[in-house]
Amino acid sequence: MSELDIKSCALTEQYVLQQLIASREITPYYWSAEKASAKIDFISKVK
């Protein structure tokens, strides 16, 4: 993936998150684990 693609993905991810927050559909949380190589963009719980 080129540097431009990575930046475009990051901007798109940020835009989607801001829209979800604005519509009050989600409350964002941060997840990390020591020595983890996983990446989770969004998780949603359906009621």
Q: In this predicted model, what pLDDT tens digit does every residue of 7-46 receive, in sequence order? A: 888 898 889 889 888 988 777 777 777 888 877 777 776 6
Overall number of domains in the chain: 1
pLDDT value at residue 35: 86
Q: What would the two tokens of residue 33 be?
A: 């684990």
Domain that holds residue 28: 1-47
List of residues 6+ apart from 16 with CB closer than 8 A = 42
Residues 20 and 31: beta-carbon distance below 8 Å: no
Assigned token pair, 43: 């998780």
Q: Give the separation between CA 23 and CA 29, rounded to whole angstroms.
A: 16
Which residue did the predictor score with more confidence, 5 or 1? 5
Q: Where are the alpha helices (DSSP H) in 1-47?
A: 3-22
Lookup: tokens for 20:
């979800």
The whole-model pTM stands at: 0.59
pLDDT value at residue 15: 92
Residue 47 pLDDT class (50, 70, 90 cuts): low
